[in-house]
Amino acid sequence: MCSSAGESDPRSRKLNKSSVKVNGTHSTALPHAATKLETFSTSAVAFVEDVAGERSRQNIPTEKQNADPFRQGLIVEGGVGYRQTVVIRSYEVGPDKTATLETILNLLQETALNHVWMSGLLGDGFGATHGMIRNNLIWVVTRMHVQVDQYPIWGEVLEIDTWVGASGKNGMRRDWLIQSRLTGVVFARATSTWVMMNKQTRRLSKMPEEVRDEISPWFIERQAIKEDVPEKIIKLDDDAKYVDSDLKPKRSDLDMNHHVNNVKYVRWMLETIPVQFPENYELSSIILEYRRECGSSDTVQSICEPDEGSIPEDDNISIIKDFSLAPEILDGCGLSGTFDKWPTKYTHLLQIKGQQKYEEIVRGRTTWRKKLFNTY
């Protein structure tokens, strides 16, 4: 809002409390009403300016953009898909100098939001369109499946493609493909299912026609991971092998929708597994089924059960049989734990601890593979 100082500026107007017109006549008997009206007007102007200023700072486009030089993003796939170039930062890798699973999940979330951003449909919140805002709706993820073929290393340049498609009558599917910009090698692929929730009642909602009209022109009939029959995840009980109780969300764990970010859920799940395991194994697949939200005041329990039938034959044993390697050489190659047998599949559950019963937050299923070399 632009205005010059003086009578044309709403903030500069001062109501004459001794001359307030009531039903066409002047009155001096409403000083409190005049004060309230003045305060309301000033607050309303300030609110409008704050909203306008925030959108201006964010530079949210109101029309479809084909390229964004600041985010290194492009609209592809005939004008409906999105591709973003990213570089793996030093703070996004773990002790083995490869990107963590949390990094990959954060990149998936960021590129999804940037896709909506460039479409010109973004209102506010986590990817809510203008029609969703008018209907007081937000997106919530109900299921996610990520497959990692190889983890990118520090400094590696990636191209992340993402696109959307229909999922049933009231849902939306979003897929991703992460590749090396240099070689085109696929690092990871992911698919997810999203539904709408009323922001106030926190209940799931049908997709309004105006929202369907907004997003359906962007739908692509292609899947990064084909799931003819999605794997169902069993519910664990209190007899699970690994249990981590009394987990408390921090303020930094909350997202723009005021609930715990789904990346935090994954961290809680993986930290339940004994630390010796991820030193020699890396995650190759994770499936998540989201059941309900988790708030800042909730106390969470993370439980995990290994699939004892998933203990593999160790491919490295043949190497050791063929070569008489000294223990220090084995240790240097990360093979000292070769004879330790670990299951490669795990079932997970996060639940909110209640006084009488526990409420499920998310079920998970992880699959792991042996690291070629231990770089810890």
* pLDDT tens, residue by residue, 273-291: 998 898 889 999 999 999 9
The whole-number average pLDDT for the span 167-189 is 96
> Which pLDDT belongs to residue 243?
93
Return the closest-CA partner of residue 148 out of 191, 187, 174: 187
Confidence of residue 85 (pLDDT cuts 50, 70, 90): very high
CA-CA distances (angstroms) from residue 93 to 136, 260, 288? 38, 22, 22
Q: Is residue 304 flagged as an active site residue?
A: no
Confidence of residue 335 (pLDDT cuts 50, 70, 90): very low
Backbone φ and ψ for 185, nearest 5 degrees, come out as -65, 135
Alpha helices in 164-275 (DSSP H): 209-215, 262-270
Q: Check whether 35 has a pLDDT greater than 90.
A: no
* CB neighbour list of residue 351: distance below 8 Å, 6 or more residues apart: 300, 301, 303, 358, 359, 360, 361
Confidence of residue 318 (pLDDT cuts 50, 70, 90): very low
Query: What CATH class is the domain 64-220?
Result: alpha beta
* Host H or E run for residue 58: helix 31-58
Backbone φ and ψ for 315, nearest 5 degrees, come out as -65, -20
Asked whether the beta carbons of 152 and 98 are under 8 A apart, the reply is yes
> Which pLDDT belongs to residue 61?
87
Q: Is residue 59 flagged as an active site residue?
A: no
- Token pair for 128: 């809510």
Q: Check whether 374 has a pLDDT greater than 70.
A: no
> Which pLDDT belongs to residue 12?
44
Among residues 106, 257, 316, 374, which one is catalytic?
257
| pLDDT greater at residue 308 or residue 133 | 133
What is the distance between the alpha carbons of residues 105 and 95, in angstroms, rounded to a whole number?
18
What is the distance between the alpha carbons of residues 318 and 120, in angstroms, rounded to a whole number?
57
Tell me whether domains 64-220 and 240-376 share a fold.
Answer: yes
> Which pLDDT belongs to residue 74?
97
Q: Check whether 20 has a pLDDT greater than 60.
A: no
What is the distance between the alpha carbons of residues 45 and 40, in angstroms, rounded to a whole number?
9
What is the distance between the alpha carbons of residues 31 and 15, in angstroms, rounded to a whole number?
10
> Which pLDDT belongs to residue 32?
55
pTM: 0.79
- Token pair for 16: 């004459």
What is the distance between the alpha carbons of residues 373 and 323, in angstroms, rounded to a whole number?
17
Among residues 115, 135, 262, 294, which one is catalytic?
294
β strands within 218-272, DSSP E: 242-247
Q: Domain extents for the chain?
A: 10-58, 64-220, 240-376
Confidence of residue 112 (pLDDT cuts 50, 70, 90): very high
CA-CA distances (angstroms) from residue 319 to 13, 315, 335, 338, 370? 85, 8, 10, 10, 14
CATH topology assigned to domain 240-376: Thiol Ester Dehydrase; Chain A (3.10.129)
Among residues 115, 145, 259, 348, which one is catalytic?
259
- Token pair for 365: 């299923």
pLDDT averaged over the chain? 82
- Token pair for 118: 């460039």
- Token pair for 162: 């993402």
